[in-house]
Structure 1
Amino acid sequence: MILLLLDTNAYLRIAKRVKPLLGVAFGQKDYQLTILEDVEREFQRSPRLQINFPWFQDGALQSERLAKRFRLSRDDREQLDAAASVLRGWVIGNASQYRSPPSPVDCRVLAFGQLKQAIVVTDDLAMHKLGEEFGIATMHGHDLLRRMLAAKMVSKADVRGIYRALEANSDLPATWEKDRDTYFPRLFCREDDDPG
């Protein structure tokens, strides 16, 4: 099994339209998606996220997050805190290298990836940069979506629907737009011909 850890924005971009999402094994490599409790806390602390994503409070989604999020032992938490502290110290000491430096939660997510050999799914380019500097595997959300499509966890119509929703909400990351035709050839140019 290869664990894929969603950061808050990656979760928010796909969770409404892909059900079930967490804890479901897919693909030949047996990928499994999870989140940390930090996603819940980050949402609760952000009025902007609460306004933009009211569906996050949906009972079924809350139950899925509670049941399928990664549970950390006391030792795991101590190791995670220490690793996140190292990453955060690096970010603070090198803040000028980032247009928008990774947050403390971002550092915790990356630290988890480092400790548990998980791939961190994020569209935050600063997180990709920090992950690269520390040898932490990352992937973009559209890359995850491509793998989910190949494994038939989502349909072509689902992919188009996710892209449309992100465009309508002005939340389509530049990397998603740039790589759309490479990752999903013919999917968008022939959508009327293929019910998906």
Structure 2
Amino acid sequence: MILLRVIGILTAIVLALHAGIAFYGDLVRPSFHASDLFSGEIPPGKAKLAASGVLASVSWDGDLLANYAAAVAADILHRPSTDAVGKANENKAAQSAVVAALKVSPVRPALWLTLGTLQAQTGQAATPAVKMSYLTGSVPIDVAFSRVRTVTSSAAATDDEIKLLAQSDIRSALANRSRYEPLLIAAYVQATPQGKSLLLETTKVTDPGFNEILRRY
């Protein structure tokens, strides 16, 4: 009887702790998703990030971890450190948060792109992360265009599989040419030689007129 009572008390304590953590998680969970990072949304303030970071360090909630990681990444992209060492440390911390979230909940294409974007910023190999962003599902047009920019400005443009997958993103952007034309031109100007070739090859078939425009830059 005593053993059963002890087990009952311990079970009640565990359930109470779980309920408390879940309630606290709902209060501090950032309402910020990885796709928001690529659509220009401003991330939560540092105070809320710090609060959700405490819970993220002990949580296995995939949504909480993903939202926190996206918010941390957006924070350093929108409000970066002014010195090189600070930027490198922030990037490393953001990558760690993203990797932790993906280990728990890997089917998140925008979050994989977030990891690839962070890696590309520091000259790391972003190709595997970018490829996973294609293989784990569809993304909104803003994310697709951001992926074009990441692919064409990094070594990912040398990967044959990614080149085929990226053509779909480029065609999606061209389908909204009135909105994305100046952004595609900017991406072309900043692209690597392989990235430029990818943009030219795709637009030559999809939109010859725009292809001619790109060739002027």
TM-score, normalised relative to structure 1: 0.34
Larger radius of gyration: 2
Q: Which structure has the highest strand share of the two?
A: 1
| More RCO (CA 8 Å, sep 6+) | 1
